[in-house]
Amino acid sequence: MLWGAKINSAIAAGQVWRLLTSSFLHTGVIHLLINSHALATIGPHVELIAGSKRFMAVYLTSAVAGTSASFLLTPAPSVGASAALFGLGAALGVFYWRHRDTMGRRSEVVLQQLGLTLAINMAYSLASKRIDNWGHIGGMLSGAAVSWLLGPRFTRHANGQVVDVPPLSVLAYKPPAGAAEGGSGGAGGLRLVRGTS
C-alpha cells in the first residue's frame, strides 16, 4: 500500500505513478472480489462492443482520471479499481445512447439498467464515508469522454456496410479482408469499414 496507494503528499512529492497504481490495489479480499465481479460483469460487454484497445484506453484513462480527481478534491488516501469500473459503465452508456435510434428497445433497456445500477452505487457511496466518490465521478466522466471520442460509432451505408466513424478514428475498426470488395467479415457477419472522418 505504501508504494502504490493514492497518498496525496506522496503524489505531490513526485510519485505520480500512484495515479495509476492505486487502481490495482485493494483494501482486502472483499473489496477485490466486489470489483472483480463488477469487471467480469461489465468488462466483456464493453470489450465485445469496443474492442480490446478501446477497452484498455477507457479502463486506464478512467483509472488515472478518477485518481486525479480524488487527488485534487479529497485528502483521504484511497485504492481500488472503482474509478476504472465506473468509466467502463459510462462507456457502455455512451455506446447505447449514441446508437439508441438504431438499437431501439435494446438500447432503452440497457440504459435503464445502467441508470439503476449507477443510482444504487451512488446512494451506497454517499452513505459511506470510506468510499471515494470523487474517484468514482472522475472515472465516470473520463469513461464517457473517451468513449465519445474513440467510439465505436456505427453508421450503415446505403450498400449495407457498417462503418465505424468516431470523432477520433485512431482505434476505429479496420476493414476486414475483402470488405472493400463486399466481403462479410467482422463480428456477427457485419461488414465493418474504417471511417475517414
Q: What are the residue numbers of the active site?
A: 82, 136
CA-CA-CA-CA torsion for 102, 108, 113, 116, nearest 10 degrees? 130
- Residue type (1 letter), 192: L
Helices (H) and strands (E) in the chain, counts: 8, 3
Q: At what angle do helices 52-73 and 82-98 cross, to 10 degrees?
A: 120
CB atoms within 10 A of CB 55: 20
Per the listing, cell 471520442 goes with 149
Residues sharing a CB contact under 8 Å with residue 8, sequence separation 6 or more, in sequence order? 71, 75, 77
Nearest to 135 by CA among 95, 76, 94, 53: 76
Pairwise CA distance, residues 166 & 187, whole Å: 18
